[in-house]
Structure 1
Amino acid sequence: MESKNYQEELAHIRQMMERSSRFISLSGLSGVIAGIVALLGSVYVYFVFQREGIDYFDGNRNIYGPALAKELFFVALVVLVLAISSGYIFTARKSKKKNLKIWDSITKKLLFNFAIPLVTGGIFCIALWYHHFFPLIAPSMLIFYGLALINAERYTLSDVKYLGICEVVLGMIALFWLGWGLIFWAIGFGFLHIFYGILMYRKYD
């Protein structure tokens, strides 16, 4: 009996230490929804290509003009806003369920470490768009997003780091397959998010 109580006390102490040093309210469902939104955005972009008379899967290297690139950039921005909004909703719901604060010093550190590579990557992608280096935008988005996840991992669930590594590797591969950014974008922001979201939901939610 004493041994059981001792183990329960240790588990409680570990849980308290984890709560004080890591943001553990991140919901796996937010990753699933973000992935679905990204896939829907990819499907929409595919139909935009059809509208413009572009057969994306004809085997040619796909390079686009400024007007189309601007529309694609806007679609990516909308997907980002929807993904962040859904992430906040599910994370807030999980925090309330576990009776945890969603906004504290750990959350601030998490967002700060996540924002540094993400904002840097966003500015870099805008510069690529400004200078008409459109094929490099999708790989750069994947790489900087992955770096943001890796940088923020120390303040949240450790699984986030592995998702970040996958995003970086996928982005580096995409650098050698320019013109196929939609495929890599769908894999990285769509399928990988859904896969890791399901894993995290089963493990933590």
Structure 2
Amino acid sequence: MNQKHQEDLSHIRSMMERSSRFISLSGLSGVFAGISALLGGGYAFQLAKDNGINLLDGTNDVYRPELIKQLVVVGFFIFVFALFFGILFTVRKSQKNKLAIWTSATKKLLLNLTIPLFVGGVFCLALIHHHLFVLVAPSTLVFYGLALINAEKYTLSDIKYLGIFQALLGCIALFFLGSGFLFWMIGFGVLHVLYGLILYNKYK
């Protein structure tokens, strides 16, 4: 009888978690987001190098308007590819586990994730407008980390640890302004891959 009660309680907890949290996040989404960032970052590095700028030398270089536009476009495509893989693997996992994708938990997750990202995006555009380029990379890490922490209560709790590391990395990068690109590659590239692999092995 006790065993049956335990099973019933576990089933109830599972149902409550599914209704209040979005649990279809796939570790593969993080892995491919990280790979996209690393590949895009490598392309951005080559673009800057062709313009006589070494993004890894720790100096505060002057960026030409044309290069800035190119780097913004690269950043946009990195975001699109990461989003594409995120949606692809999330849908696959949801279908595999026979879970609904568009629920109240999904809406709350997206809202709590989007607000800090939107504010951070506007902030970074303002930095670019005022030619404060060295602050862009650290700021993206900080706001992205805060967005993950803010969204954690509506999805897998593991995501908050990624958010904490991203935010901390961004704060550290603020004290090494000439090395923002290196911190960006570590945060959006390496940390995403590591987080994705951990998540995949934990919830596969």
Q: Same fold (TM over 0.5)?
A: yes
Using the alignment, how far apart are the partners of 1:157 and 1:77 within structure 2? Answer: 26
Deviations 1:110-142 (A, max 9, x none): 000101100000011111111111111111111
Partners of 2:56 and 2:181 within 8 A in 1: no
Aligned to 2:28: 29
Which sections of structure 2, spanning at least 5 residues, go unmatched? none
Q: Give the root-mean-square deviation of aligned CA atoms.
A: 1.4
Paired residues in the alignment total 204
Of 88-97 and 69-78, more deviation after overlay is shown by 69-78
Of 77-86 and 66-75, more deviation after overlay is shown by 66-75
Which sections of structure 1, spanning at least 5 residues, go unmatched? none
Partners of 1:37 and 1:190 within 8 A in 2: yes
Aligned to 1:194: 193
Aligned to 2:150: 151
Aligned to 1:19: 18
Secondary structure at the residue paired with 1:179? helix
Alignment of 1:88-167 (within 5 A): 88-167=87-166
TM-score for both structures, normalised by structure 2: 0.95
Using the alignment, how far apart are the partners of 1:66 and 1:134 within structure 2? Answer: 11
- Distance change in 2, residues 1:57/1:155 (3 Å): closer
Aligned to 1:179: 178
AA at the equivalent of 1:194: V
Using the alignment, how far apart are the partners of 2:134 and 2:76 within structure 1? Answer: 17
Of 176-185 and 32-41, more deviation after overlay is shown by 176-185
Partners of 1:139 and 1:175 within 8 A in 2: yes
Aligned to 2:44: 45
Deviations 1:163-191 (A, max 9, x none): 10111100111111112221111101001
- Distance change in 2, residues 1:34/1:201 (3 Å): same
- Distance change in 2, residues 1:57/1:84 (3 Å): closer
Partners of 1:66 and 1:132 within 8 A in 2: no
How much does 1:58 deviate?
Answer: 4.2
Partners of 2:149 and 2:164 within 8 A in 1: yes
Deviations 1:71-118 (A, max 9, x none): 112111110111011100000110111111111111001000101100
Using the alignment, how far apart are the partners of 1:162 and 1:58 within structure 2? Answer: 30
Partners of 1:30 and 1:90 within 8 A in 2: yes
Using the alignment, how far apart are the partners of 2:58 and 2:145 within structure 1? Answer: 28
Deviations 1:26-85 (A, max 9, x none): 111100000000000111112112211233444544442332222112111110111011
Partners of 1:63 and 1:135 within 8 A in 2: no
Partners of 1:69 and 1:134 within 8 A in 2: no
Using the alignment, how far apart are the partners of 1:153 and 1:58 within structure 2? Answer: 36
AA at the equivalent of 1:149: L
Aligned to 1:66: 65
